[in-house]
Amino acid sequence: MKFKAFIFGLLVSFGLPWLLVIVVPFSAMRSLEPAKYAGMEIDGGDGVYIPKRDGRIKEGSEVYGQEGCYYCHTQLIRPTYAGSDVWRADWAGLKKSADNPDTRRETLATDYEGEKIAHIGVMRVGHDLSNLGRRLEANLKGTQLSPETWTFLHLYNPRGITPYRKDSQDREERSACPSKPSLFKEVSKNIAGFNALPVASPEGKAIIPSDRARALVSYLVSLKKDTLEQPVPQNLNYNPIQPAAQ
Amino acid sequence: MSETPSSADANDIALRSSIDRSLRHPVMFFFTSGALWLAVSAVLGFIASAKKHLPEFLDGCSLFDAGKIDAAHINALIYGWGFQAAFGMIIWLMARLSRKECTSSGIVLVAGHLWNFAVLFGVVGIMLGMGTGVPWMEFPKAVWPVLLLCYMLITIWSLIQFQVRDAGHVYVSQWYLLAAMLWFPWIYMTANLFVFVFDGNPLMAAGIASWFKGTLFLLFFLPVAVASAYFLAPKVTGRPVYSYNIALFGFWTLAVVGPWAGMQKLTGAPIPQFLPYAGAAAMVLILVPAIAVAINILKTVSGHGETVTASPALRFTAAGVVGLLTYGILSATTHAFGFSLVQFSYTDYGFDILGLYGVFSLCAFGAIYFIVPRITRREWLSRRFISWHFYLSLYGVITVAISAIVGGISQGEGIEAWNQSFLAGAGRAQSYGWGVTIAWGFLLLSSLFFSLHLLLMWARLGRRSSHPTLLTGPHADSPHGPEGEVDNYGSATA
């Protein structure tokens, strides 16, 4: 094997996939055509689909990455050919009930807008978080807790609070998530004010979330990747029909 | 052993020992500091794994927070141990095979220290919450240019050595080393530029990060391991490589298949659909080069069972080659049938560890057991330490592979059963999680034996003997004569 032929072989065998897998898709994904509503008959309106999210998405997403949440949580609702995520209770959105229509859908390319990297996730030790904000909202309805407070409490002590699913108290529904004490600090009660978490603390002291925790929680409760508030164009909406339970 | 004075002429021996001497400091530095990073990574891996099934474990110690510690563990394993072991192997093998002394060991040594500081800064940065959140690329963003610079300063001399070598045969090992040395900077620059520098779609950033993960193993760690195997198997048995054509075939199939791997992690994500398919196809086809390499190496050493058991270098290498075959078979099976089941389960981690430890590290250990006596001019102190290191490594990596890969399938089934409670499904992983934790305990012990032994060798406390330390008892018919008689430096201490 001649040296020049060897180098040429390496260039071709690596360069071709490099172009096809990295460069071309990167440029294509960089300027995605915005999805358009098809018109009155199907979508009930015209225009362009613009994803909306409230909250400190950019900073929160960064903290999510820094804290390594993606090692145990995913953020991806796969189409049915690739997994059963859309059928799992509350992962893809809300199931049809008296209060709401069926809001489930798959993940769209626009769902990670504003983040540096899509936190697809490594493993599912914990729940998929694509619709964490949505299911907190639905499950905490009628309780004292706001989604934000619940999330602070969960990060502070995941097993210290009642499970958010009202109907289940059993062991299996208890969280297996380690706590994140570094996101909170202990300050004097006078300083804490309304920020104090409703948890036990030493006399005269209170536990408050740090700025990073606020950004993270703001991001987490913004995770509402379903169709409740914002219907997606029909040609993108693969709302699954639930298969009969075996 | 083929290196007996009777079979090689004196000039040759002089050249080899001058090459060894020129590389003594950088190579020993890479191996010892790498071994210590391996021990650190094993501790972190133990804690990270324990937190997955015992969430209260080390609760309240914010440095060891779950998530951050997973990142610190895998990055210490890759950049602390993996790369440094690879550097030692690359610079020594390339110098020996090109028959050129290293004339810049000072620069290599300085770059090696800088590399260590960068990795230390990176790992501590991750644990303090300054990581980037990109799997396998979590070091704070300032670190990657430093690592790339160090990499260049360390390996460029090997490229030069290859270029200025006296014309002659190019060994199979040299193809792999050369390719790995050229692939890595391309992969690393692509990944970091496209993820951290260029502004693109966040999904594509995730995709490219997965591609980095796939190609870093297949096109850097794997070729370096294979290069070492192609060097050691013929060297220790004294036989030529079984088949040149199979070697050629194995190399080019890896070169063609490897660059496509990685994006299977994003199956079902809204990216161009062929990307995950291409990745999964590559992970199936990787079986082909794996079989080619395994056949070639195992055929080369077959019939030399006694040498394989007796020589620490060959025993580790053979285990690594069997690890590669296992990796290929398991990878092809899981990626061909029901990948969605294991996409987000322990299986992925199992493959990472099987590749990095069961293939790369075992081959690296083999290389280290061969190289260190030559550059320190001392023999390994204790046959028992080597045996302990071998068996604990082997049991550890088998336990990880079984718990994580097989356990991951069961976990994946539980999670895919959408009409069951999620935590009931995820709970299936807990007992397998115990397996992974215990395995890291084994691997930690084994790396302690290894580091201690290596540190003793580094302190030049090895045996001054002309007998290599073999894992079976001394033979009267050993080519070195009966133990003790040819010994110029007093009795052996083993």
Tell me whether residues A108 and B270 touch, CB distance under 8 A: yes
Q: Which of A237 and A2 is assigned the larger pLDDT?
A: A2
The pLDDT tens digits for B264-281 are 999 999 999 999 999 999
**A72 Cα to chain B: minimum distance (Å):** 7
Q: Do A117 and B205 touch (CB under 8 A)?
A: yes
Q: Which residues contact A58 (CB under 8 A, 6 or more apart)?
A: A114, A115, A116
Residue A163 has pLDDT above 70, yes or no: no
- For the beta carbon of residue B493, count every other beta carbon within 10 angstroms: 12
Determine the length of chain A: 246
**Do residue B423 and residue A173 have CB atoms under 8 angstroms apart?**
yes
Check A9 against B252: CB less than 8 A apart. Answer: yes
Written as six digits, the tokens of B272 are 């161009």
Residues of B whose CB is below 8 A from A182: 62, 65, 129
CB contact under 8 A, A179 and B135: no
Binary contact (A68, B271; C-beta < 8 A): no
pLDDT of residue B339: 86
Size of chain B in residues? 494
Closest CA to B374 of B93, B90, B34: B93
Contacts of A89 in chain B (CB under 8 A): 418, 422
Tell me the C-alpha distance between A214 and A221, whole Å: 11
Residue B436: C-alpha distances to residues A3, A230, B51, B402, B426 (Å) = 44, 43, 11, 9, 15
Beta-carbon separation of A182 and B183 below 8 A: no
> Can you give the pLDDT at residue A41?
63
- Tell me the nearest-neighbour CA distance from B257 into chain A, angstroms: 8
Structure tokens at B421: 């409670």
Distance from CA of A164 to the nearest CA of B (A): 14
The residue in chain A having the minimum alpha-carbon distance to the alpha carbon of residue B135 is: A122
Contact in structure between B28 and B21 (CB atoms under 8 Å)? no
pLDDT digits (tens, 9 = 90+) for B305-342: 899 999 999 999 999 999 999 999 999 999 998 888 89
Q: Answer whether CATH 1.10.760 is correct for domain A57-236.
A: yes
Q: What number is the ipTM of this complex?
A: 0.92
Q: Domain extents for chain B?
A: 10-168
Mean pLDDT rounded to a whole number for chain A: 85
B426, closest residue in chain A (CA to CA): A125
For B143-190, give the DSSP string.
Answer: HHHHHHHHHHHHHHHHHHHHHTSPSSPPPHHHHHHHHHHHHHHHHHHH
Q: Which of A10, A12, A21, A80 to mutate to test the interface with B (most CBs of B within 10 A)?
A: A21
CA A8 to chain centre: 44
Instruction: Look at B52 and A158 and tell me if their CB atoms are within 8 Å.
Output: no
Residue B292: helix, strand or coil by DSSP? Answer: helix
Radius of gyration for the alpha carbons in chain A, expressed in angstroms and rounded: 22
Per-residue tokens: B259 = 């660059």
- pTM for the model: 0.93
Q: Determine how many CB atoms are found less than 10 A away from the CB of residue B288.
A: 17
A117–B202 CB contact, under 8 Å: yes
> Which residues on chain B are in Cβ contact (under 8 Å) with A123?
344-346, 348-349
CA B124 to chain CA mean position, Å: 23
**A198 in Cβ contact with A184 (< 8 Å):** no
Nearest to B269 among A71, A115, A120 (CB): A120
Nearest Cα residue in chain A from B169: A1
What is the residue whose two structure tokens read 């502004």?
A: B199
For A210-240, how does the pLDDT look when each residue is reduced to its tens digit (9 = 90+)?
999 999 999 999 999 988 888 788 767 766 5
Q: How confident is the model at residue A246 (pLDDT cuts 50, 70, 90)?
A: very low
Residue of A17, A109, A173 lying closest to B421 (CB–CB): A173
Residues of B in contact with A119 (CB under 8 A): 133, 206
| Residue B394 phi, psi (nearest 5) | -65, -50
Report, as ranges of residue numbers, the positions in chain B whose pLDDT lies below 50.
Answer: 1-3, 476, 484-494
Helix, strand, or coil here: B381?
A: coil
In the predicted model, is pLDDT for residue A171 greater than 50?
no
Contacts of B255 in chain A (CB under 8 A): 9-10, 13-14
Closest listed residue to residue A201, CA positions, set A213, A189, A183: A189
**Contact between residue A184 and residue A209 where contact means Cβ atoms under 8 Å apart:** yes
Q: Is B340 close to A83, i.e. CB distance below 8 A?
A: yes
Could you tell me the sign of the dihedral formed by the alpha carbons of B181, B187, B190, B192, in that order? negative
Whether A109 and B255 lie within 8 Å, measured CB to CB: no
Cβ–Cβ gap A84/B418 under 8 Å: yes
- DSSP symbol at A159: T
**Crossing angle between the packed helical segments B422-458 and B362-376, to the nearest 10 degrees:** 10
In the DSSP assignment, the letter for residue B443 is H
Inter-chain residue contact B170 with A1, CB threshold 8 Å:
yes
- The model's pLDDT over A233-242, given as tens digits with 9 standing for 90+, comes to 876 776 655 5
Supply the DSSP string of B10-32, one letter for each residue.
Answer: HHHHHHHHHHHHHTHHHHHHHHH
pLDDT on residue A44: 67
Which residue of chain B comes nearest to A83, CA vs CA?
B340
Degrees to nearest 5, angle at CA B452 with B451 and B453: 90
Q: What CA–CA distance (Å, rounded) separates A156 from B341? A: 32
B chain contacts of residue A121, beta-carbon cutoff 8 Å: 344
Nearest CA to B221 out of B180, B173, B189, B253 is that of B180
User: What is the sign, positive or negative, of the torsion defined by CA atoms of A45, A46, A47, A51?
Assistant: positive
